[in-house]
Amino acid sequence: MANVSSNGDQLIRTYEDLLRVFEEAQDPNRQYIGIEVEKWAIFVNTGGPLPYRGAASILTIFEVLQAEYGWQPIYEVEGGPLIALKRGDAYITLEPGAQLEWSGAACCGLHQVAEEMRVHMRELEPISSKMGIAWLSLGFHPFAEREQLGWAPKMRYEVMRNYLPTRGKHGLDMMLRTCAVQANYDYRNEEDAMRKLRLALKLAPLISAIFANSPWVEGEAWGGMSLRSKVWLDVDCARTGLIPQVWDPRSRWMDYVQWALDVPMFMFIRNGKQVNNAGQTFRNFWKDGWQGHRPVCADWIAHLNTLFPEVRLKRTLEVRSADAQAGRYTCALPALWTGILYDPRAFEEIEEWCADWTLEEVDQMRRKVGEEGLQQLFRGRPLYQWAEKLVYVAQEGLARRGQHNAEGNDERVYLKGISELVSRGLTPAQEMMAFVNSASSFREAVLTCADVHERLAR
């Protein structure tokens, strides 16, 4: 789901200018779903990563998608490198380590989301087969050392590459070696936005556990369920985590704005060139400027996109805590959130269910979930028991939505596989490890079980 500002060149003068992005986005009648799926291209014969440039590369794929399927190129600056594609309201963009991110157009239901994904996969299949590559979708790269992965040529990534290592141990691993599946949701008004934000933040570590899917690093099991979740604990505490400022039930958009103002920036763009002000908070940029420049609304929009909490508020609510999933579970993430966030009965039931969960408890859950997954104890009970409740309520919410596909299935079909796993106390990581441990070839087994194209539910 795209995030667009209608007045990007306007100078920021008042708090109203900062709030406008949220005010313009609210809509009492819109309940769309957006999905973002990240994945790596891997050479099947070697397990090596597909580079950005070369005879067989990301650019090769971009050229085919433009020539054969009507995708349009996007350049960060005129004459600069190709960094993304656009077709209608859908985008294909690059993460720092040349991970491909597909962002579907906003859809009114999960069946449309799933069909858009199928179309995207079908378009990739011929060129992927010709180039001898597979698409892997799990939370942490199972094969590559950090030095083996090249950098996508985006200006912001260059600044982040130098700045984030000064803020935490794992900034570069986050950028190069992680992948996620994320979903985006609309909000009716300020109260609705903040209630959804608070609830999603409380549930974020439980979602991380349900979708824990990164058990390997550099060809070996590291001993836990979600290395991606563990990496995010030490990236940059100023821009990640659970946003304590919005946990008060009385919090408003302004509380989110005040938090965002105190997060350091990376850069801004003037006349097609980057201006590096890494480390300066947006609040200070607003107050004092930088080398004669003053902030405009486009700078604020860009800054909001550099905040990486477990749940992010922009023109949509973006839930961010799940590892990337193989095809059979990819739509389970938006299905679970849709059943909770878009059904009033389910939302109120879960809101009441976790009303007394404290920030300290949830943060402790977040810090353990990478290693322990659904076996972690929360209030004396393993997380999988809490997860069963959450999945059940989401299924009921989806049933009440009453949206059916051509096969007669309602949207609960996308939760079937993950529900069965949760009922056994298992994560996708454990399912993959069981498969891989019984195989003769580690690489071939991972390529099979983590394939993003592998049977999307119908």
Boundaries of every domain in the chain: 15-449
Question: What's the confidence (pLDDT) of residue 452?
Answer: 73
Question: What's the confidence (pLDDT) of residue 453?
Answer: 65
CATH number attached to the domain at 15-449: 3.30.590.20
Q: Choose among 409, 395, 412: nearest CA to 349.
A: 395
Average pLDDT over residues 86-113: 98
* Dihedrals phi, psi of 441, to nearest 5 degrees: -120, 115
Average pLDDT over residues 169-191: 99
Average pLDDT, the chain: 96
Judge whether residue 120 has pLDDT over 60: yes
Compute the distance between CA of residue 71 and CA of residue 59 in angstroms, rounded to an integer. 13
Compute the distance between CA of residue 72 and CA of residue 76 in angstroms, rounded to an integer. 13
What does DSSP say about strands 82-87 and 180-185: parallel, antiparallel, or unpaired? unpaired
Q: What is the pLDDT of residues 373-387, one digit of tens each?
A: 999 999 999 999 999
Q: How many CA atoms lie within 13 A of 251 on its CB side?
A: 20
Q: What is the pLDDT of residues 281-327, one digit of tens each?
A: 999 999 999 999 999 999 999 999 999 999 999 999 999 999 999 99
Buried b vs exposed e over 229-265: b needs ≥16 C-beta within 10 Å? bbbbbebbeebbbbbeebbeeebbbebbbbbbbebbb
**pLDDT-based confidence at residue 244 (cuts at 50, 70, 90):** very high
CB-based contacts of 438, cutoff 8 Å, min separation 6: none
User: Residue 163 has what DSSP assignment?
Assistant: H
| CB neighbourhood size of 300 (10 A) | 25
Question: What's the confidence (pLDDT) of residue 4?
Answer: 39
Judge whether residue 2 has pLDDT over 70: no
**pLDDT-based confidence at residue 249 (cuts at 50, 70, 90):** very high
List, in sequence order, every residue forming a beta bridge with 74; answer none if it has no partner. 84
Question: What's the confidence (pLDDT) of residue 411?
Answer: 99
Q: Under a CB-based contact definition with an 8 Å cutoff, are residues 236 and 167 in contact?
A: yes
Sequential DSSP letters for 145-160: -GGGS-----HHHHHH
Buried b vs exposed e over 437-454: b needs ≥16 C-beta within 10 Å? eeeeebbebbbbbbbbbb
Judge whether residue 427 has pLDDT over 70: yes
Helix (H, G, I), strand (E, B) or coil at 98: coil
Judge whether residue 6 has pLDDT over 50: no
Tell me how far apart the terminal alpha carbons of the chain are, to the nearest angstrom. 23
List, in sequence order, every residue forming a beta bridge with 87; answer none if it has no partner. 90
Q: Which of 43-47, 164-168, 207-211, 386-390 has the lowest mean pLDDT?
A: 43-47
Helix (H, G, I), strand (E, B) or coil at 244: helix
What does DSSP say about strands 82-87 and 216-217: parallel, antiparallel, or unpaired? unpaired
Judge whether residue 9 has pLDDT over 50: yes
Judge whether residue 5 has pLDDT over 70: no
Sequential DSSP letters for 402-423: T-B-TTS-BGGGGGHHHHHHHH
Question: What's the confidence (pLDDT) of residue 433?
Answer: 97
* Dihedrals phi, psi of 74, to nearest 5 degrees: -125, 130
Is the pLDDT higher at 450 or at 139?
139
Q: Under a CB-based contact definition with an 8 Å cutoff, are residues 432 and 450 in contact?
A: yes
Average pLDDT over residues 394-408: 98
Taking CA atoms, 107 is separated from 114, 347, 371, in Å, by 10, 20, 35
Compute the distance between CA of residue 365 and CA of residue 370 in angstroms, rounded to an integer. 9
CB-based contacts of 360, cutoff 8 Å, min separation 6: none
